[in-house]
Structure 1
Amino acid sequence: MALSPSSSRLLLPGLTPREPGLETYGVRPGGVTGVRLRPGDRIDVVDRHGRQPAELTVLDREGPTGSALGITLDAPATVLRGSAAPNVSAVPAEYGIDPERAMAVRLFGGWSPAGARESFTAVCEAVVLVAAPAVPMAVDDEAANPPSDLLLEIRRAAPRVAHEPRLPEPLAEPVLDLRIDAATARGYEVKKGQYIQVIDVEGRQCSDYLAFDARRLQNGLERGLDATTTRHFTGRAYPQPGLHGKFYDEDARPLVEIVRDTVGRHDTFGLACNAKYYEDMGYPGHANCTDNFNAELAGYGIAARTGWPALNLFYNTAFDDAQVLVFDEPWSRPGDYVLMRAMTDLVCASSACPDDIDPSNAWEPTDIHIRVYDARRTFSMAMAHRVTPDAEPTLTRPTAFAPRTEKLTRQFTEYRGYWLPDSYDNHGPQEEYWACRERAAVMDLSPLRKFEVLGPDAEALLQATLTRNIRKLSHGQVVYTALCNETGGMIDDGTVFRLGDTNFRFVGGDDYDGIWLREQAERLGLDRVWVKPSTDQLHNIAVQGPASRDLLAEIIWTPPTQPAFTGLGWFRFAVGRLGDHQGIPLLVSRTGYSGELGYEIWVHPQHATALWDAVWEAGRPYGLTPLGLAALDMLRIEAGLVFAGHDFSDQTDPFEAGIGFTVPLKTKEDEFVGREALLARKASPQRTLVGLELEGNEPARHGDCVHVGRSQVGVVTSATLSPLLRKNIALCRIAVQYADPGTYVEIGKLDGHRKRIPAQVVRFPFYDPDKTRPRS
């Protein structure tokens, strides 16, 4: 729907407050968040996902009476009493209260609806502690209710001054805390091993960073960050901040290593702004980063330059498809930062860029803040992810199986907010691949997003939002499905587990799936359904390969009320135990992403290492091998299994993605999101997914164009060298006129015309197209 001129406005989620004076804070499951209130301040406690109890404790100078909010504290503050966090326990002590005797008022819980809120207004100054009690979700509980987070909204009677930025809390005790005022630069020294945090105070502000080897400077040798050397070692045409590794000087010595990046979308190694840039734009005498650097670095004996090549943090430039350098407003938000570790003693300089004549600082230069932390500190490697533009960021984290996988490899990659092995030391992708095809392999798939869909309206919600006919789903059955928008485009694919009449589990690839399901429930008026994230309560491994059944039969026990493990059918699951009836609870499903006979095993994170150890020990006689993402990609392409962002997107319908079987338009009579669009698309298909076999030994890559004659007729979505077929193969979205098996096409390289790889459309999937192996 087009916006009317009166409602049209520039949308900047996460940058502009939703209303003046509003502050928001999260409360994690099992955690406590404290806020100070002054007279007239209002606090709203929001149960974001529903069915999550809250404990609210009020402390003022009169004691823990609750009178500051006009309430009575009548229940034990169970979370506060058990809190081991010194910063939390210190607050009650400040008011002379024994944390072990703290009281609270309980809010929500039971069957509170998603979005339920309680509001309180302070009549005097007080500290309010809000806790989210959390009990681990039982894997074997049909009516599982995972703990979820709470939201606090504070509306100040006297709002903060609009220009008063709020810096993020220090990551540790800083050894240097330095503000760089807008349009200036500062030099500073850092010792080997120390951490440098560059913070964008108000958001959308560029900061150029220089670093020099301090010891070599003392010997009269100037060696700083070098773009060409770094480009060579990182393998990037235009090296970008992120977690790709180290930045080097021209002698190939590493100077700094990226540890954290909460932005992820910015660049590096353009020139810092300089006098010539402004002069050519008609602004002679304009302040610039290069001159500011020259003034700061003169005291270190570093010669002045007319333009400094710098590590450009929070600066949004890129090369477009025509290889033209373009730039726009930075992606950084208030408080975003890049954390680096010094690889040697450094002389550093950082700027708060003065550019106010173009979008590089959103036309308004602001401050940059520098914090340096002691080398004895440790910080996790991480990037930040936001589910929606205005959501709070979450940092990359390890899965519960990391204590075991980290002993087997150093080859980890950042995957959807988690660290997962790309391959395993002493094995490698080919060996891991063959282990899965011939014996058995185990892989960590914990980043899959899980959502408990609960309540009397749960079936109605899933029936109205998924392409499959959920009403036909039996207890103990799993079904693969697509989630589509109103145009028929795929939001995601996933599996649905039916645990009971009113209890389902949806497993997909994106946190947004849960948000979308909740939005649809609200749109449809289904107020007796809860969609609760359970990813943090269920981590899972997959054991795949011909020997997987025999291997797992030795360690998985199922009760008489559940199917016997050895008789578990394809796309069925059972709730059981590890070892015997006294073992840890688990759920095992006969599902996978390899094209082989295989299973996925789901446990609470606290039991993850015990499960891994048991599987590993049982797998020794079968040659069990760990399997990483690189080998998994080969397996799933051979098996014709699609991957989000490669083989489908919200511009691709299930028919175009090769999973039209998930859309039973004839047998599912109920309406669901996208049905009308899918009926039209099926009646008049334009593109479909096919398999290609390439001639020769040169591989295709995702995004390669596919031609018949001069015209492009398709695009490669995924490609690999198949170890089993000993051929290069690809998945291709192609015009239906060229989709018949046996059709000859050409895959374009270079500009798509100067070099072509002959290929042929073949039966798809490439490996075991009748699925005899996973069905066996």
Structure 2
Amino acid sequence: MPPVETPLAAEHAALGASFTDFAGWRMPVRYSSDLAEHHAVRKAAGLFDLSHMGEVEFTGPQAAAALDHALAGALSKVKVGRAKYSLLCAPDGGVLDDLVVYRLGEEHFLVVVNAANAAQDAAELIRRARGFDVAVVDRSAETALIAVQGPASPEILRALADPAAAEVVDTLKYYAAGPATIAGIDVLLARTGYTGEDGFELYVPNSSAPALWRALLEAGAPHGLVPAGLACRDTLRLEAGMALYGHELTTATDPFAAGLRRIVALDKDFVGRDALAALAAKEPARTLVGLTGTGRRAGRAGSAVLGPDGSAVGEVTSGVLSPTLGVPIALAYVDAALTEPGTELAVDVRGRSQPYTVAPLPFYRR
């Protein structure tokens, strides 16, 4: 089966993008160079097509209760207009996906899931909502998502906003969302992102996406905005210490080992709660840490982490030569006794042992 194209495929082709197949989608991996796009986001702004992500809508009197049952977080406590990062866990406590939930009204939520898991997540959320007075609808196929990320993003959005929306841009808090009109197009505007920078994510119907994309490109050009692909999105999120499903989070990992204890609400009942309560009572054998190296050789996912005696004490889940910091960085699961910042370890990089040090996360903070 050929990969699915986003509503912006023609825009990417016109900009000379290089494409890759990702989670069943044909996505732009870069337009110019990974480094140029990465630095543009850090210094000015980048424009991303994230339309491969999945969106599942919950509406009805028991929408909050259904999400409390389905997810590890306490979604009923989220205020209208705010968002919460949460987890969809298996009955044994393994992570099926990490996701963001927006509360758009007292009885209205939007759950945004990873592209690779979108169909199975939607099906699982629908199953878990059975018995509750709620309607659950998969909106993924009809929804486009465009992100503007970087320090210039508020100014770019403000230039395209009507007066009411300009006030929304100015006052919208991090992890908050609300309706706005940008470039004459009605959007759900969220101050969220996956880059470690200030930024916004704009949800629109597929039919509105090309006009919005072109307007953002034009308005952003004087501010240094460039279109940005999946390659730099990965280096940006890694510098920001953000997990990627399939790397740091899988069905074989639990939230506590991943450092996500704070988002698991064990004081409520939800799928996987009993298993997670048992896991919470003991220390994980390995936990997720940051590692920084020297030189120019970066460990990659699957590379062995080595202890002082040369034995394997962990495994890299993501690694790259950081464009911002100029040194190799990695996320890795490491034996619990070796996770103190400053601990000296090594990573097997293509058969050669390279020195790394346990470092606090995130690696980069704006």
TM-score, normalised to structure 1, is 0.45
Task: Indicate the residue corresponding to 2:323 in structure 1.
Answer: 723
**1:673 matched residue in structure 2:** 271
Measured on the aligned residues, the alpha-carbon RMSD in Å equals 1.6
CA contact (8 A) 1:497 1:504 kept: yes
1:113-139: CA deviation from partner (whole Å, max 9, x where unpaired): xxxxxxxxxxxxxxxxxxxxxxxxxxx
The 3-state SS of whatever aligns with 1:706 is strand
Out of 608, 612, 622, the residue aligned to residue 213 of structure 2 is 612
Structure 1 residues without counterparts, runs of 5 or longer:
1-261, 263-381, 383-395
- Which residue does the alignment assign to 1:18? none
Report the counterpart of residue 286 of structure 2 in structure 1: 687
Please give the alpha-carbon distance, in whole angstroms, between the structure 1 residues aligned to 2:291 and 2:219: 39
2:58 is paired with a residue of what secondary structure? strand
Q: CA deviation at 1:680?
A: 2.3
Please state which structure has a larger fraction of its residues in helix. 2
Q: Distance in 1 between matches of 2:265 and 2:37?
A: 36
1:557 and 1:565 in contact (8 A); partners too: no
- Cα distance between partner residues in 1 of 2:44 and 2:219: 13
* 8 Å contact from structure 2 (residues 176, 191) kept in 1: yes
Counterpart code for 1:634: T
Task: Report 1:658-669 matches (<5 A).
Answer: 658-665=259-266, 669=267
Q: Structure 1 CA distance, aligned partners of 2:305 and 2:163?
A: 50
- The within-5 A match list for 1:304-703 is 382=2, 396-424=3-31, 427-509=32-114, 510=117, 511-522=119-130, 525-526=131-132, 528-557=133-162, 559=164, 564-579=168-183, 583-665=184-266, 669-684=267-282, 685-703=284-302
* CA contact 1:558–1:565 (8 Å) conserved in 2: no
Cα deviation digits, residues 723-746 of structure 1 (max 9, x gap):
111100100011111111011112
Q: Alignment partner of 1:554: what SS?
A: helix
Deviation at 1:659, TM superposition (A): 2.8
Contact kept? 1:558, 1:577, Cα under 8 Å: no
| Separation of aligned partners in 1, 2:69 and 2:167 | 30
Query: Distance between the aligned counterparts of 2:35 and 2:23, measured in 1?
Result: 24
- Contact (CA 8 Å) 2:49, 2:146: kept in 1 or not? yes
| CA distance in structure 1 between the aligned counterparts of 2:105 and 2:322, rounded to whole angstroms | 41
In 2, the alpha carbon distance for the partners of 1:411 and 1:519 equals 38
- The residue type paired with residue 702 of structure 1 is A
What SS does the aligned partner of 1:432 have?
helix
Counterpart Cα distance in 2 of 1:624 and 1:564: 21
Deviation for aligned residue 1:679: 2.2
Distance 1:710 1:696 in 2: 20
Q: Report the Cα distance in structure 2 between the residues aligned to 1:615 and 1:516, rounded to whole angstroms.
A: 35
Check conservation: 1:484, 1:492, Cα contact below 8 A.
Answer: yes
Alpha-carbon shift at residue 755 of structure 1 (Å)? 2.9
Deviation at 1:532, TM superposition (A): 1.0
Aligned length: 361
1:432 to partner: Cα distance: 0.2
Deviations 1:357-403 (A, max 9, x none): xxxxxxxxxxxxxxxxxxxxxxxxx1xxxxxxxxxxxxx22111122
- 1:497-545, Cα deviation, whole Å (9 max, x unpaired): 11112111100012211111122223xx32x222211012210111000
Paired residue secondary structure (2:72): coil
Q: Contact 1:578–1:585 (CA<8 Å) still a contact in 2?
A: yes
Q: What residue identity is the alignment partner of 2:87?
A: A
Looking at structure 2, the residues matched to 428 and 755 of structure 1 have their Cα atoms a distance apart, in angstroms, of 28
CA distance in structure 1 between the aligned counterparts of 2:24 and 2:128, rounded to whole angstroms: 25
Q: Counterparts in 2 of 1:159-198, with a 5 A limit?
A: none
Secondary structure in structure 2 of the residue aligned to 1:499 = strand
Report the Cα offset of residue 492 of structure 1.
Answer: 0.2
In the TM superposition, residue 748 of structure 1 has moved relative to its aligned partner by: 2.1
Is the partner of 1:497 in helix, strand or coil? strand
Does the aligned pair in 2 maintain the 1:558–1:576 contact within 8 Å? no
Q: Give the letter for the 1:760 counterpart.
A: T
| Partner SS, residue 14 of structure 2 | coil
Tell me, yes or no, if the aligned pair for 1:557 and 1:577 is still in contact at 8 Å.
yes
- The runs of at least 4 aligned residues of structure 1 exceeding 4 Å deviation read none
Amino acid at match of 2:9: A
SS, match of residue 406 in structure 1: helix
- Amino acid across the alignment from 1:651: A
Partners of 2:352 and 2:320 in 1: how far apart? Answer: 19
Which digits, 9 at most, give the CA deviation of each residue in 1:560-583, with x for residues without a partner?
8x962211100011101124xxx2
Determine if contact 1:563/1:574 at 8 Å carries over to the other structure: no
CA distance in 1: counterparts of 2:240 and 2:85, whole angstroms = 15
Give the whole-Å Cα distance in 2 for the aligned partners of 1:401 and 1:661: 37
**1:765 paired residue number:** 362
Distance of 1:600 and 1:692 partners within structure 2: 30
Q: CA deviation at 1:488?
A: 1.2
DSSP 3-state at the match of 1:734 = strand
Structure 2: segments with no counterpart, 5+ residues: none
Contact 1:495 / 1:506 at 8 angstroms: preserved in 2? yes
Could you tell me which amino acid in structure 1 is paired with residue 105 of structure 2? G
Written as runs of structure 1 = structure 2, the 5 A alignment for 1:227-246 is none
Alpha carbons of structure 1 residues 686 and 558: separation in structure 2 relative to 1, 3 Å: farther
What is the Cα deviation at residue 700 of structure 1? 0.5
Given the alignment, which residue of 318, 340, 344 partners 1:744? Answer: 344
1:319-354 C-alpha deviation (Å, 9 max, x unpaired): xxxxxxxxxxxxxxxxxxxxxxxxxxxxxxxxxxxx
What is the alpha-carbon distance in structure 2 between the residues aligned to residue 680 and residue 624 of structure 1? 48
Distance 2:181 2:164 in 1: 8
Q: Deviations over 1:18-60 (max 9, x none)?
A: xxxxxxxxxxxxxxxxxxxxxxxxxxxxxxxxxxxxxxxxxxx
**AA in 2 matched with 1:406:** A
CA 1:497–1:558: 2 relative to 1, 3 Å: farther
Instruction: Give distance in 1, aligned partners of 2:219 and 2:137.
Output: 34
Higher relative contact order (CA 8 A, sep 6+): 2
Q: Tell me, yes or no, if the aligned pair for 1:409 and 1:421 is still in contact at 8 Å.
A: no
Identical-residue share of aligned pairs (%): 38
**How big is the shift at 1:648?**
1.0
For the 8 Å contact 1:690–1:762, the answer to whether it is kept is yes
- How far the C-alpha of 1:483 sits from its partner, in A, is 1.0
Q: 1:767 to 1:529 in 2, by over 3 A?
A: same
Residues 402, 615 of structure 1: alpha-carbon distance in 2 compared, 3 angstrom cutoff? same
